[in-house]
Amino acid sequence: MTKYQRALQIWSILICAARERKSYTYGEIARILGVGRADFIGTYLGPIMYHCDEVGYPALTVLVVRKDTGCPGEGLITVSEDELDIERERVFKFNWFALEPPQIEDFEETDQA
């Protein structure tokens, strides 16, 4: 499975999380996907982060956090650390289900990793 296919899976998980006003740790996302290792999850989040930034959506990836800090990892570069709470609220309030779901090609086009 490509990283863009994984990104699409994670997109679905995260828009449901946004609706429920919750976040997931990297490890929880890894377990849901059945990939075992949480250290690869950032690779899959990059295309989502860049896509959201490119099209003007809130940073959906702010909902994936480190277990030890409860904050996103250093790879979240589209949101400053002092704006994390504000951005999380934007993600929670955004109507993700009103959007046409992104396609794998959308993630490929906007991925800057």
What's the pLDDT at 113?
47
Angstrom distance (rounded) from CA 57 to CA 73: 19
- List helix spans (H) across 1-113: 3-19, 26-33, 41-55, 84-93, 104-110
For 27-63, what is each residue's pLDDT tens digit?
999 999 998 788 889 999 999 999 999 999 999 999 9
Name the residue among 24, 88, 25, 28 with its Cα closest to residue 60.
Answer: 88
Domain boundaries, the chain: 3-110
pLDDT category of residue 101 using cuts at 50, 70 and 90: very high
Neighbouring CB atoms inside 10 A of 66's CB total 14
What's the pLDDT at 37?
83
How many alpha carbons lie under 13 Å from residue 87 in its C-beta half-sphere? 24
